[in-house]
Structure 1
Amino acid sequence: MKEENDIKETRPEANKKPSAEPPHELLDLTVGGVKKWAAGVPGVVASVKDLIGEKTLLRGGKALFKMNQFDGFDCPSCAWPDPDDDRSPIAEYCENGAKALAEEATTKKITADFFKNNSVYDLAKLTDYEIGHLGRLSEPVYLPKGGTHYQPISWDDAFKKIAEHLNGLASPDEAIFYTSGRTSNEASFVYQLFVREFGTNNFPDCSNMCHETSGFALSPTIGIGKGTVKLHDFYDTDVIVIIGQNPGTNAPRMLSALERGKKKGAKIIAINPLPEAGLMGFRNPQQLSGVIGGGVNLGDLYLPVRINGDLALLKALELLLLDFEKKSPGEVFDHEFISQKTVGYDAFIKQFDHYRLDDLAAASGVSTALLYEAAQLIAFKKRIIFCWGMGLTQQHNGVDMIREIVNILLLKGSIGKPGAGACPVRGHSNVQGNRTMLINHHPTAEQLDRLQQVFGFNPPRTGGYDVVNAIKAMHAGKVNVFFGMGGNFLSATPDTTYTAEAMRKLALTAFVSIKLNRGHLIHGKESLILPTKSRSEIDMVKGEKQFVSTENSMGVVEWSKGMLKPISDDLINETQIVCRMARATIGNRTVVDWQRYHDSYDAVRDDIEKCIAGFEDYNIRVKQKGGFYLPNAARDEQRFAKQFNGRAPFTLTTVPENTLAPDEYLMATTRTHDQFNTTIYGLDDRYRGIFNERRVVMMNEKDIAQAGFKPGDKVDLFNYDDGIERVAPLFIIVPYPIPERNTMTYFPETNVLVSVNNVVKGSNMPASKYVKIKIKKHDPDLPMRKASTSR
């Protein structure tokens, strides 16, 4: 890792552009054994190691004791809920949460002098890991047109620059306003209010890349685009099915809930192309048995589904359940629930006249014996929870897969009952709250009508751009300004080369951030970086300590109050950034009292209460211990889709035919254990036994031999969607227990292979878990040729 003073300036020629991708360099890969359990002492050690690495052992260690506590601050990592009742005073967080805190509680900081000494071009030569560990952004900086270095700028001048560009647009729709899931409820609300008063619904947000598919699938069926379970439902249930999700890495605190359910008799079925450690075992570091004992074996049954075999697998389970029902009428299906709460049952059942178990098993890649065992675990149980993640939502038919899960829950009557329901496991903390706060490119007429009633302006009624359409609009020259409220848009999005070309066409890019990332280095003709306070830092406004609120995966809204001294005196909180931007841009034309919001988050919450259902007495209830649940008619009343008079429709779906050329493979992108979204904490994937390297492609041993490769071979990866050659050069083959003709790679390194047109039908999300690739022996000249084409 290069220290700040070790990065030497090499002023680039004018025609060179910073790389949009991490450096194509290999480190010293070490491959070990695949782990069969997660967490435990190694997780604690890794957490402490990160605090030391960020030079924040005392500062960050102190904050850890307040993270996710009733009187503390919300973890900036995943959106898994905190317990409603007792919370561990020692460690109510996971390893990744500790790493996320270490990143923002670091004592290292980036000043304007750093940017003076390091050009954008030179910074882009660093790996994402190196960029992320340079420190906290501490003052606003500006990159002028034709400039090579960011330079300091005052906050007032930064807002004037934004206002100048926004007011100079031919139409408000020529601006895009991106949102990351980390943004609080209060900041999200004022952000959408400003953008709609400005005149557009262009709200691409991170949910467009993670769980848009879930909302699109659930809303027309169960009447709400959210899950239908509470955390305590996991503690007393019969069966938990985890499909397309890796809780050990993506939501480690979920393992504690699975452990409690397991100890009370729940059976756990894991469905995933990879045998993940967190799906098999758990050593709870909060308990003595997890420290010196063997922990808990979680998974009762593992189904190694092939990529995009999930729908065939779900159909096979339904076919087997139907067979059980025929043999034991009324004991498998909940006919009272079906008759009173659903529509379309007869047509749904009729389809199985045309399915054969052997065909479905072959399409899924799972044996009939394992499918039968899974169906048997489910058949005579009513309390069933289905959990899923991006392993489903990012496949091209992900909407159908989730609706097939709903079909099974409807057959069993397993929605709106204790210990039963649907559970999309959201990624980023408060990504669900952003959507509740109206960060939505397609708001409903009712939502817009309410804003108009409360504020007196007519919000735009035309739908805006999601992430994929925003990229295409930027590339086509239809957009001139990009404003990013957090996140790393470039590295999170698909088709990296295409997206970088789109970003470079913009007149202005502006990013609200706490850390530097690669997205800041692929910019418009002018660019701003606006540093903000982190969730763990004290937020004082007019001498009063403020708090924010967030919504977790299960609809709980809870307060979050920072306790660390801000890393810099020149930081502004997100809400004030929005308010000052609004005043500078809209000026005397505004009908909103932005100063009132600027000075008090209570005032923001008072107006959220007026605009959004479920937030009655917001400022009172959010201060209650554990916060409050938002209404959920599907969960609380078994009231579902409005268009079906409160009933839930069964959905008819089609099993896809997946065909590959002889030299093609299906690739799915995934994250390492040392990573959260695009943030790289380290270079190890401890649970999968892959150390000190990210440029790897996991392949089945039979595929390796059949293609004439060997483990450790260097290869290049290619995608040819849309008739375009996309290349990810210089990867190392790692043998792994994965279905044949399937491969796994890490993102963002292979996002370059995901076509912007490879999307989920309906939700328009990037289908990053379904990418056809070819693997060729590494051409040593390829990285050089590829770099030359990006200049």
Structure 2
Amino acid sequence: MAKDLSEEDAAADIPVAGYDGPVGGWGSAEGMAKVAKTARSSPGALQTLKRQNKPGGYMCCSCAWAKPPNPHVAEFCENGAKATLWDLTTARCGPDFFRDHKVSDLVTWEEHDLERQGRLTHPMRYDAASDRYVETSWDEAFAAIGAELRRLDPKKVTFYVSGKAGLEASYLYGLFARAYGHTNLPDSSNMCHETTSVGLKKVIGSPVGTCVLDDLEHCDMIIHVGQNPGTNSPRILHPFQKAAERGCHIVAINPLREKGLLEFANPQNPWQMSLGAPTEISDRYLQVRTGGDIAALTGIAKHVLALEDTDGGVLDHAFLAEHCAGLDEWMDWVRATPWGRLEAVSGLSRAEMEGVGTLYARSKAVIGIYGMGVTQHVHGSDAIGALVNLLLLRGNIGRKGAGCSPVRGHSNVQGQRTVGITEKPKLVPNDKLREMFGIEPPEEPGWNTVEFVEALLAGQAQGYVGLGGNLARAVPDQDRVTEVWGRMPLTVHIATRLNRTHLMPGRSAWLLPCLVRSEEDLQNGTSQQITMEDSFSHIYGSIGKREPASPHLKSEVAIVAGLAAATVQANPRLAWDDWSGDYVQVRSLIEATYPDEFHDFEARMNQPGGFYRGNPARERVWKTETGKAQFTVPADLDATGLADGDGVYRLMTLRSNDQFNTTIYGMSDRLRGIEGDRMLVMMSPDDIEAEGLRPGQRIALTGAADDGVPRRVDGLRIVAYDLPRGCIAGYFPELNPLSPLSRHDLLSKTPASKGIPVRLA
């Protein structure tokens, strides 16, 4: 089955991966120091870290966790610090670098090596004759791109945006697209939490979570499903630590035993950093099979119903009668679902699920927290529904210390949706846009990410403008996408560093370098602020202070406005030049377009803790089809939609500890005890033995989707890891070639990256 690549591999003896230290502590400090050395950060980076996530300061460009009104001395985590240090590198990737390297050579480099070249410094255009990017001027770039966009069919051009761009640039980008004539506005939400936007909205009428940060001070139980806080959102561990210390029950449901859900040593606590023991986070850990969340949550709910039948007084009958629909049908289905089926699909014992159900029945205020381990499945929306079903039983949505709380992975991905980055016209107040700007926004839906890639593979996509991101590496069916990306007539990338997608140039291709959030954005002699929204629907101002990496950089706002002015027919009400010079005017447009949520925008944006834009479901106003919170029966107990057997494994793609999305800071996955190698597959020791393999051996994985498309990734080192049988894991984006574009959440089309069917080859 497996073939060794070398004698060295054959002799390798890699033990079961593990890490003895806690999240945080000195290990976190060492991890930041290593990245600072690799990044060659500027001396001003330390001053930026002091201002990070504080009122009047710079808001982290990493995850979307809240910025508290009373911050710690150091209000940043390891992951956020790495992002800042990476942005503020002293390395430069300018015209000299591109003169020395052909694109066809650079495309063979590893992602990490490309990023290490540093910040892009000049606008560049691709010259096919020399196979190099060559220096150009901003005027030439805007004029040429605008002329090309006018030649193309707007309906076949895509404007993608990563989750980092602020509200101001995002609003103008959406306005630009609609004035140009399309709504092809996918963003990174399509890759991760679009399942929340669709699935959560279906059951409670809100596309975002119902909690605020203060709720974590008042809950007495947290159910945490499919999210790894130690790597992806470490600042969440501060309130988790406080909750655990006051006796709050924290239940983790996850296939991997992640360190961030086990123990935490607070870097702000001198005692824990010296002699003290770390805080144990989860008092129960349910190591569910990949895709077993629906079954696990249903099993917990089944026991709650049994307690109600036996003892009474468990369910919140008044809440259920006034606020919920579909309860009887759902209860009939739960009672008819046998425990044996729940155990088989979840991989848990009945006793484990009943134990959590008993805790839940005794808890007064419960928060359900989840991440992409829930959303990135074929039945991800049903998994969200299963969590909401459980919360509704005891009225745990719409009151203090309780609610449903998705953890968003990028700093402003939720905010971009709020201000109009969406392919769905019904989510945008188009009547106001007509009135304010005299344009005719398209009323037909545009492409989301999966639909863009489908159009690309079908030869229908004509142009791509990317406001950040590394999309060709992030999407499913990566190898197939790489083959066709450069066939588009136009590719434009607004970026800070070089990445692999930039090295797949279309017939006309451009690199437009922009400021990072921590750099001073000076327009007309005034330092401009931008704003963003966190996972708790709070809005914050952010102002950069560092000197820009190059005098040739422009802000994201200025680049979007410059492209729009060069493309869209002249219109006195589309004052692109004025807006790019004064972001206060852009915020006035946002306030006028969304007055209920952004009233008094300028006055409120810098208040400590941000301002809350509101959420009807938090007030128990349910904007669903029934006007009530909706109990739902899932289409399948198994969120993957896969059948067991026939040698098929369930592959999850993951981030490492030295990674943010496709940005690879280093080769360490410290919290999992893995160093120096990203081409690997984590397997249960029992599966390794059953397959006749051994740790350290190199194998290949092949796709097992029934769609006739061959998929394969070679040279993966086996690492023994504590995983349920039949479940394996490896790194994103290296294993994306195995993920079929056709496998996605049925409601949202979010790629099913946590349940990829593969075989060992």
TM tier, smaller: over 0.9
The equivalent of 2:633 in structure 1 is 652
Alignment of 1:160-175 (within 5 A): 160-169=143-152, 171-175=153-157
- 2:728 pairs with 743, 761, 776, which one? 743
**Match of residue 189 from structure 1:** 171
Question: In structure 1, which of residues 43, 49, 53 is the aligned counterpart of residue 28 of structure 2?
Answer: 43
Report SS of the residue matched to 1:253. helix
- 1:58 is aligned to 43
**Matches of 1:571 and 1:36, distance apart in 2:** 42
Three-state SS of the structure 2 residue aligned to 1:65 is helix
1:264-283 CA distance string (max 9 Å, x none): 22100000000000000000
Structure 1 contact 30–690 (Cα < 8 Å) conserved: no
Q: Report the secondary structure of 2:466's partner residue.
A: strand
- Which position in structure 2 is the counterpart of 1:673? 657
Tell me which amino acid in the other structure corresponds to 1:192: G
> Residue 462 of structure 2 is aligned with which of 474, 477, 480?
480
Partner of 1:499: 481
**TM-superposed deviation, 1:599:** 1.2
SS of residue matched to 1:669: strand
Per the alignment, in what secondary structure is the counterpart of residue 697 of structure 1? strand
1:183-238 alpha-carbon deviations (Å, 9 max, x no partner): 00000001111110001000111000010001111112211100010111112211
Closer/same/farther in 2, CA of residues 511 and 29 from structure 1, 3 Å limit:
farther
Alpha-carbon distance in structure 2 between the residues aligned to 1:383 and 1:142: 56
Does 1:72 find its partner at 2:84? no
Contact 1:48–1:57 (8 Å) recurs in 2: no
Counterpart Cα distance in 1 of 2:570 and 2:13: 59
Q: CA deviation at 1:623?
A: 2.7
Query: Corresponding residue for 1:615?
Result: 598
User: Does 2:130 align with 1:150?
Assistant: no
Give, in whole Å, the separation in 2 of the partners of 1:417 and 1:236: 10
Structure 1 residues 752, 590: CA separation in 2 closer, same or farther (over 3 Å shift)?
farther
Q: CA deviation at 1:445?
A: 6.3
Residue 313 (structure 1) aligned with residue 296 (structure 2): yes
TM score, norm. by length of structure 1: 0.92
Q: State the match for 1:15 in structure 2.
A: none
Q: Which moved more, 1:520-529 or 1:266-275?
A: 520-529
618-627 or 564-573, which moves further after superposition?
618-627
493, 502, 516: which is aligned to 1:511?
Answer: 493
Q: What amino acid is the match of 2:134?
A: Q
Contact 1:305 1:365 in 2 (8 A): yes
Aligned-partner Cα distance in 2 for 1:651–1:502: 40
Residue number among 185, 206, 210 corresponding to 2:188 in the alignment: 206
- Paired positions, count: 746
Q: Say which is worse superposed, 178-187 or 451-460, in terms of deviation.
A: 451-460
| Contact 2:9–2:697 under 8 Å retained in 1 | no
Paired with 2:288 and 2:704, the residues of 1 have a C-alpha distance of 25
Within a 5 Å distance, the mapping from 1:244-393 to structure 2 comes to 244-292=226-274, 293-330=276-313, 332-393=314-375
What is aligned with 1:632? 615
1:382 is displaced (CA, Å) by 2.8
Structure 1 contact 197–590 (Cα < 8 Å) conserved? no
Instruction: Name the structure 1 match of 2:67.
Output: 82
Query: For 2:37, what is the secondary structure of its paired residue?
Result: helix
Cα–Cα, structure 1 residues 30 and 733, in superposed 2: closer, same or farther, change >3 Å?
closer
- In structure 2, the residue corresponding to 1:482 is in which secondary structure? strand
**Which of structure 1's runs of 4+ aligned residues deviate more than 6 A?**
25-30
Verify the 8 A CA contact 1:26 1:693 in the aligned structure 2.
no
The Cα of 1:641 is off from its aligned counterpart by 2.3
Q: Indicate the residue corresponding to 2:114 in structure 1.
A: 131
The superposition leaves residues 233-252 of structure 1 with CA deviations (integer Å, 9 ceiling, x where unpaired) of 11221110111111111111
Contact 2:437-2:574 at 8 Å conserved across structures = yes
Partner residue of 2:81?
A: 98
- SS of 2:43 mapped into structure 1: helix
Q: CA deviation at 1:406?
A: 0.8
Q: State the 1:126 CA deviation.
A: 1.7
User: Distance between the aligned counterparts of 1:202 and 1:146, measured in 2?
Assistant: 31
Q: Post-superposition shift, 1:703?
A: 1.0
Q: Is the 8 A contact 2:154 2:181 kept in 1?
A: yes
Residue of 517, 521, 524 corresponding to 1:539: 521
Which residue of 759, 763, 771 maps to 2:748?
A: 763
Classify the secondary structure of the residue corresponding to 2:591: helix
Q: 1:5 corresponds to which residue? A: none
Cross-structure match for 1:420: 402
Q: In structure 2, what is the Cα distance between the partners aligned to 1:445 and 1:719? A: 36
- Distance, in Å, in 2 between the alignment partners of 1:575 and 1:324 is 56
2:743 maps to amino acid? N
Partner of 2:5: none
The letter of the residue matching 1:74 is M
User: 1:496, 1:26 → 2: CA distance?
Assistant: 27
Kindly provide the amino acid, as one letter, of the partner of residue 539 in structure 1.
D
Secondary structure, aligned partner of 1:614: helix
Deviation at 1:144, TM superposition (A): 2.8
What residue identity is the alignment partner of 1:389? Answer: G
One-letter amino acid of the structure 1 residue matched with residue 633 of structure 2: L
The partner residue of 1:728 within 677, 690, 713 is: 713
Cα shift readout 1:156-194 (whole Å, capped 9, x = no counterpart): 11111211211101x210210000000000000011111
Conservation of the 8 A alpha-carbon contact between 1:203 and 1:441: yes
Q: Secondary structure at the match of 1:346?
A: helix
Task: Check conservation: 1:140, 1:155, Cα contact below 8 A.
Answer: yes
The residue that corresponds to 1:18 in the other structure is: none
Shift of 1:589: 4.9
* 8 Å contact from structure 2 (residues 41, 86) kept in 1: no
Which shifted more, 195-204 or 141-150?
141-150
RMSD: 1.7
Change (3 A) 1:42 1:29: farther
* Counterpart pick for 2:646 among 643, 659, 662: 662
